[in-house]
Amino acid sequence: MQKDDERLVHSRGEEFLQVFKKGAEFTQELLRENERLRFRVLELEKSQVSGEPAPAAELKKLNERIADLEQEKQEILDRIKHVEEENQDFAARYLEIEDENNNLANLYIASYQLHSTLDFKEVLQIITEIIINLIGAEEFAIMLLDEKSDELQAVATEGIERSEIPSFRLGKGIIGTVAQSGENHFASDFDSYERDFSAPMVCIPLKIKEHVIGVLAIYKLLMQKKEFAAVDYELFTLLAGHAATAIFSSRLYSDSERKLSTIQGFIDLLTK
Amino acid sequence: MSDYNVLIVEDSPTMRQLIAFALKRIRGVRIVEANDGVDGLKKLSSERFDLILTDINMPIMDGLKLVSLVRNDANYKTIPIVVITTEGAQEDRERALALGANDYITKPIQPTKILDVAKNLLRIA
């Protein structure tokens, strides 16, 4: 009986020992799992603290930034294009103003020269020089209106003999019409123009306000001057005005000088 | 004290003034005018010039004769010469350049053209 009891105790002890061992193993396993999870928690906490975003979010953010920069770049390119267009406009305007300035300077010198003398022949010479050097004409005539006979006669020519130019009646033909109307005349086609004294390539009235004192008739341009530029037409009219005033003043002066000389002659005759 | 001495040889006072007016846009330029080739040579002998602009058709001595004399004189042969003329034919141009002219400008005059050629020969940027 006692032996049975001892055997039972022993068996129970063995059983308890087995259970205890299993419990110990299970506890060990739990401790390892706990350790692994604690490590994982630490890792997650660490990544959260350093602020590193997940790769997908980072990519999205970068793509948005690229889109913004692309838009900004396009805006800058548009602005550059606009500024370049403005710049081209300014450059073109600068050239226009420079041309205008040159023409004004030429006109200033021409008018200064025209009004620098009261000698009729000298005035005609200066007009001739201006027409050659500034307008670029090779054959032309300066014709003045005789108000008594209503006829236009050449008083100076270049490239042609003065005797070759016939006189024209006021209101007749191109020259007479220009002198009567005071309107400029330009041949329709300079290339096919053939010299005709009664129909010049260009005919400009010499006017003092609305009073026409003569015309400038051009028959041929210098070979290098193929056509008139837009500014030439303006220059023509301005020069014609100054030329007319200079011719008129010099004629008045010459007439008064002549009269004075005649009177002086009479006085001398009477007093000596 | 001027930086550049320029001689204009031209019988027309209007033309001389037009050329001078265009050249005066160059800073430090001093202009001397001569009526014809002989007057031009006289002026050349009295002072040093950096550039000569000359017409062709002139009384007493024409521009081509002047170009030829300047180029054959050791004292002046390096001075740049520009011919400004009404003669627009290619052979006239070639003749002037063959005699020693550095450039050839035809009339009607264009101030910008004169200015560009002068700046180029005076080596002004």
Instruction: Please name the member of A133, A224, A225 whose beta carbon is closest to the beta carbon of B18.
Output: A133
A180-202 per-position pLDDT tens digit: 999 999 988 888 888 999 999 99
Instruction: Please name the member of B21, B108, B112 whose beta carbon is closest to the beta carbon of A136.
Output: B108
> Averaged over A220-225, what is the pLDDT?
90
Mean pLDDT for all residues in chain B: 93
On the question of pLDDT at B102 being above 90, the answer is yes
Residue B73 C-alpha, separation from nearest chain A C-alpha, in angstroms? 31
Task: For strands B81-85 and B103-106, give the pairing.
Answer: parallel
> Averaged over A94-123, what is the pLDDT?
89
How sure is the predictor about A44, in pLDDT bands with cuts at 50, 70 and 90? confident
On the question of pLDDT at A169 being above 90, the answer is yes
Q: Do B108 and A112 touch (CB under 8 A)?
A: no
How far does chain A reach from its first CA to its final CA, in angstroms?
A: 201
The alpha carbon of residue A267 and the mean position of all alpha carbons in its chain are separated, in whole angstroms, by 67
**Which residue in the block uniquely carries the two structure tokens 């001389």?**
B16
* Residue B124 buriedness (CB in 10 A; 0-12 / 13-18 / 19+): middle
Angstrom distance (rounded) from CA B18 to CA B5: 17
As separate numbers, helices (DSSP H) first and strands (DSSP E) second, chain B gives 5, 5
Structure tokens given for B103: 């450039």
Q: Which residues of A touch B88 (CB under 8 A)?
A: 222-224
Q: Do A133 and B110 touch (CB under 8 A)?
A: no
Q: What are phi and psi of A209, to 5 degrees?
A: 55, -115
| Helix/strand/coil for A70 | helix
Decide which of A93 and A44 is more confident. A93
B3-47 per-position pLDDT tens digit: 899 999 999 998 999 999 999 989 999 999 999 999 999 999 999
- When scoring B18, B24, B105, B114 by the number of chain A Cβ atoms within 10 A, the one with the most, hence best to mutate, is B18
> Averaged over A90-117, what is the pLDDT?
89
Q: Which residues of B touch A134 (CB under 8 A)?
A: 18, 108-109
On the question of pLDDT at A5 being above 80, the answer is no
Query: Is some CB atom of chain A closer than 8 A to the CB atom of B88?
Result: yes
Residue B25 C-alpha, separation from nearest chain A C-alpha, in angstroms? 11
Structure tokens given for A209: 């306000």
Q: Which residues of A touch B111 (CB under 8 A)?
A: 102, 105-106
Instruction: Please name the member of A99, A112, A222 whose beta carbon is closest to the beta carbon of B86.
Output: A222
Cα dist from A216 to A63, A208, A223, A225, B52, whole Å: 76, 14, 20, 18, 34
Angstrom distance (rounded) from CA A111 to CA B21: 14
Q: What is the CB neighbour count within 10 angstroms for residue B38?
A: 16
- In B33-72, the residues whose Cβ lies within 8 Å of chain A are none
Q: What are phi and psi of B27, to 5 degrees?
A: -65, 135
Instruction: Please name the member of B12, B106, B111 whose beta carbon is closest to the beta carbon of A129.
Output: B12
On the question of pLDDT at A230 being above 80, the answer is no
Sorted by sequence, the CB contacts under 8 Å of residue B57 that are 6+ apart come out as B11, B63, B85, B86, B87
Query: Which of these, B82, B90, B70, B79, lies nearest to B109 by C-alpha position?
Result: B82
Residue A193 C-alpha, separation from nearest chain B C-alpha, in angstroms? 20
Cα dist from A85 to A31, A39, A71, A72, A82, whole Å: 78, 66, 21, 20, 5
Structure tokens given for B85: 């003329």
For residue A58, what pLDDT is reported?
80
Sorted by sequence, the CB contacts under 8 Å of residue A251 that are 6+ apart come out as A120
Query: Which of these, B10, B116, B110, B112, lies nearest to B55 by C-alpha position?
Result: B10
For residue A122, what pLDDT is reported?
92
Residue A72 C-alpha, separation from nearest chain B C-alpha, in angstroms? 39
Omega before B108 cis (within 30°)? yes
Mean pLDDT for all residues in chain A: 88
DSSP one-letter code for B109: P
How sure is the predictor about A53, in pLDDT bands with cuts at 50, 70 and 90? low
Query: What residue type is A104 in one-letter code?
Result: L
Q: DSSP characters for A188-208?
A: S-STT----TTS-SEEEEEEE
